[in-house]
Amino acid sequence: MSDAQIFQLFSLVYLAVGIGMLISPGFYKKLFTDFCENAAVMYLGGVSALAIGYLILALRGSSVCCASGFSVIIPIIGWLALIKGILILVRPQIMIALSKAMLKESTLKIMVAWVLFLGLLFSFLGFCPKSPI
């Protein structure tokens, strides 16, 4: 997979989630609540995040310092996903506290803006012929 294709995938996910959070905030509040209350869902989320992080790092390289330009974002996301997965599996109470913090209205609005910004950035990097990738 090329860097552009990876950014295309990231953009689709981030834009879909960001628009979903904007249009259906109640659903995402319930999602965060359910995540905190359901151990099986939390476990599967941890395994998924760990696997996705590992795959990104294994297939695209794990070194942040060797990546150039915007391509450095790919291993950073891989490391963050890997760390998130490990934290969920090893210290779930940390992720529960973070998820509960996201239920605050002001935090949710900041998250929506951040996720949409990243989705637009990744769209530019993945789909725009004039992007630096």
Domain boundaries, the chain: 3-126
Query: Whole-number mean pLDDT of the chain?
Result: 90
pTM of the model as a whole: 0.84
Decide if pLDDT at 62 tops 70. no
Q: What count of Cα atoms within 13 Å lies in the side-chain half-sphere of residue 62? A: 11
Residues of 32-61 as b/e, b for ≥16 C-beta within 10 angstroms?
beebbeeeeebeebbeebbebbeebbeebe
Confidence grade of residue 133 (pLDDT, cut at 50, 70, 90): confident
Rounded Cα distance, 18 and 24, in Å:
10
Q: 15: how many CB neighbours lie within 10 A of its CB?
A: 17
In this predicted structure, which of 9-13, 28-32, 114-118 has the lowest mean pLDDT? 28-32
Cβ–Cβ under 8 Å, residues 86 and 54: no
Type of residue at 10: F
